[in-house]
Each structure stands twice: as structure tokens, then as C-alpha cells.
Amino acid sequence: MKGIQSFWLRETEKKYFTCGWLDTKYNLFSWVLSSLQLTQFYNKRELITDSIGAELAIGKLQLPYTHVSTDLETIKQDNYFWVSNKLYTYSIQNEPFIHLDTDAYLFKQLHSKLLTAPLVAQNFEYDHTYYTQSFQEVIANCTYLPDFIRTDELGRLTAVNAGLIGGTNVSFFKEFETFTKEFFQKNETGLRKCTYENINIFVEQFLFKKFADYKNIPIDYVSSIEFGPAPDYQMANFTQLPTNCPYIHVMNYKRNSTVCEQLAQRLWLESPELYERVLTVCRELEATHHPISQPVQQQIPSPFYRTAYLLESVQLPNPIGPSVAALSTHIQALPENEVKSVLEDVYQFEYGRQRFIDALPGSATLTQHWQTYSRQTNTLLALPAEVYHQQSIRLGRYCQRIESDWNWAETNEFAQQTADRDLAHNLHLEPSYHEVVLYIYLHQGIVREQLLDALNMLILDTLEAPASITSVIDGVCDQVAAYQSEVDRAELVDTILSRIRHFLYHGVLEVCE
């Protein structure tokens, strides 16, 4: 069995060159890591791409493919739907293969059963919005609808996830591409009335499953979990590496800052040489104004933007321009009331955050520190659990906890809050205890604010002095049990370990030398 990948650029507009990632750098990090991991398990590794893809893969990134084809340079011109490029890639295979998306990474060989299966895919899923919405649109707008385009016996719209797809039955993929061409041609007018992105996924994943069922060909899956209407795939668990995570597929987390940082870190851990090559290539592309180069336009807010917003919300003047001291003096001069208490709290939060930033060393020191704790963490977590649990850990060098009476944390995945949260709402809330930990996202040049829940606070409190992972687990479990008698200790231990792993990989905790 061989490993194959496909890569092409749909348009010449710059927005497409990121392929959904925060910027081009992460797109290349991902592609390089994905292709690198293929080398661990497949002697034959092929890339089907276009001219720009070949230029990047061969001329610049020097990716470890054994064969590169530029077939998609011509093929993509005739394809309105991007899925047709992938289906073409599958259809030209004449031997067993697996196709791995460039945002998916193998860290362990597939089970032997999957290597001999007629068809294999990432996972089984059903009734996702992609399928329900597209199904309704197709029924309403299309005329060529074979009988097998229907729900299953349970009334579900069943599909596969094609992050990884392939099998030994290569003739199936040829027949499937022939069918989809007919489907597109006969429904051309109707399909253009449908939601573009959803239709691509509908064809790639829903019609694939329906066509396999129609042909009575079984599908085996990498993951045994069935994902329903609102799936939480949890397939971007970089912190479970290097031993506890056989497969990662980023999917719709490409613009997640944490996932992007973890991706960059993983590539550096797997191959510092390829990591540096990506950075070099990005610099070259930008310097030569290559069309794939897209510098990130990042607006840097004022260090006291939250304080300014609160002042504006209560219609008070904002003296931020002159100096921080003027802002502090202005707030201190306000009448003693609840509004002043809230303003003092947000000011102290932002002042503490800015002091942390001002005290940070230069980028060279931060980079060296990142490399050190990343390598130490990865080495530690590669050990058997009974060994690494005895290792002592401590609080990280470049992180800081900040307390506040109201929640001022930025909106992110750690805060469990929506992007439209209005900070002015705090003016109507009673004070309570909140705490964030600040740490560095090196590749984005930002300070991350992680709002801590009670369990994370206990973990960090337990590590005011260095301690072994075992003693941290025992100490936290004892404190939780003192307040919650009906705790599943094994489940709690797993959760604590996951939190520790996250903190270690982000430098909030460090391995004691």
C-alpha cells in the first residue's frame, strides 16, 4: 500500500493560499508534517498537485515524496467543485493506497486490518449540518437523483470523514469518480444554487458512503467512534503525543491559535531541519512577493483597551493617550462606587498583563527557552507512565497568574465564552474570584490568557514548589475528594494528567532538570 496526497490552489487570490489556516506559515507547517509522517509508514509516497504545489514541494520545501505529478494543473481548470480534484486523484490509482489530507498526520501505523480493507476512511458520521443542509438543497434543486441518495434504515444521513481515505478496491474509486462526473453534469444548474462548500463535502463524504453501500462494499474506519449531528471530533490532541495519539486531523481548527502553536511545535520536535526550512521558505516568498506569500495583518490593540472600553461604556473621559500614570490617576479620582471598583479591577488586570509583557526577554531567549521546554516535555512524555509520573515538575519561567474580581479574559477556547461577550456586562455583576495564567504563543507573537477553572488552579497551587507528577495528582485528588465524595478517581486522574500535559507543552509548567 502506498501513501498519496493532493494539493492545489483553487484561485489566484491571496486569501486562498492559507488554505484556511491563520496564515501561510501554518499551511506549510501542516503540509510538511503530514508528508513527513507518511515517510514513517510508506515506502511509496506520491503527490498529485499543480504547478505551484510542485514548485513548493520539490523546489523549495524538498518534501520527501517518491513521485510528484502536476496533473491537477490542467484538471483543476475544468472543475468548478474542488472535490473533483480529490476524486480524480483517487481514481488514477492502480494499486492499494491511502490518501491523507495535508491537515492530517499519522503517528502510528494503521491497524493491519485497515491495510487490507476494500475501503477505509477516518470515521463514520451522520446527520452533520453539511449533509442535512445539502441533502435538502439537492432534493430541491437537482433532477438526477439515483435511488441510493437517501437516508438509511434509521432515517439518518450517513457519511464518512475523508481526512484519511483509501483501500485495496481501486476500481471502486474509478467507478465513483465516473458517477460523480455524471452527477455534476446532469445537475449542473441545480448544484450552482446549493451552498458551495457544503456540496463539496456532501459529495466527498456522503455520496462516497452511499455509493459504497449501493455497491455492497464494506468500509473500515480508523476511529471506531460514530460522530453524530454536532460532533466533537477531538482529533487535534497534540498534547497526547508522542505516544498516546496515533492520528490527528485538524479539520475546522485551522484558525485556532492553540492548535497552530502546537502544530509548529510538533514539526520542530519531529524535524528541526524541516521546521527551519519552512521559516526560510516563508521569508523567501515574502521577500520576492511570491503570490503565495500573505503577511498577516494583525491589529495590535492598546494594552488598556478593556479599560478604555469600560470608560466609554459609562461615558467617562478616557485619558489613555498621555500616559498609564494619567489613566491610573484618573480612575483613582473617581467617586467611590461600584463603577469605580469595576474600573479599578480591569485596570489592575491590564496593568499586570503589561508588566508581564514588559519583563519578557528578547525573542532569541524566548525561542531558546521554547525549544528547551518543548524537547524536555516530549522526552519526558515518551517514557512509560510509571516512570514519568515520578519526574518532578515546576512552574514555568515565563508565565504569570493574575487574579481579578471580574472576568476580563480575552475570548478564546479556554474561556468557554462567546465571541460577542460584552465586557460592559461586568458593570452589572457582583464581584467574584477569577484567575488567568499568561503565557507566550511564540509563533504568533502574542500573550495567551487562559482563564483557569478550579481544577487548573489546584494544579498550579500544588506546584508553588517543585513536586513529582504523582504527588501533584495525589494532592489535587485529595483536595477534590474533600469537597466531592462521589468522584471517579480514575477519571479525575486522567483529567489532571491531560491538564498537566497541556501546561508542559505550553511552558506553564516545566520539567525539573
Answer whether 450's CB lies under 8 Å from 437's CB.
Answer: yes
Question: Nearest 5°: CA angle at 463, between 360 and 351?
Answer: 35
pLDDT in tens, 51-94: 999 999 999 999 999 999 999 999 888 888 999 999 999 999 99
Name the one residue in this structure whose C-alpha cell is 503530514.
34
Tell me, what's the pLDDT at 235? Answer: 85
Instruction: Give the C-alpha separation, 25 to 267, whole Å.
Output: 12
Per-residue pLDDT at 513 exceeds 90: no
C-alpha cell at position 304: 488598556
392-395/467-468 β-pairing: antiparallel
C-alpha cell at position 373: 521546554
Helix (H, G, I), strand (E, B) or coil at 204: helix
Per-residue pLDDT at 291 exceeds 60: no
Instruction: Give the C-alpha separation, 479 to 460, whole Å.
Output: 13
Tell me, what's the pLDDT at 320? Answer: 59
Residues facing 64 on adjacent strands? none
What is the pTM for the complete model shown?
A: 0.94
Dihedral of alpha carbons 361, 364, 370, 375, sign: negative
List the domains of the chain with CATH numbers.
Answer: 2-287 (3.90.550), 305-511 (no CATH)
One-letter amino acid for residue 439 of the chain: Y
Q: What are phi and psi of 142, to 5 degrees?
A: -110, 150
Ordered alpha helix ranges (H), 317-362: 324-332, 338-358
Return the CA Rg of the chain: 26
pLDDT in tens, 345-373: 999 999 999 999 999 999 999 999 999 99
> Of 225 and 371, which is predicted with more confidence?
371
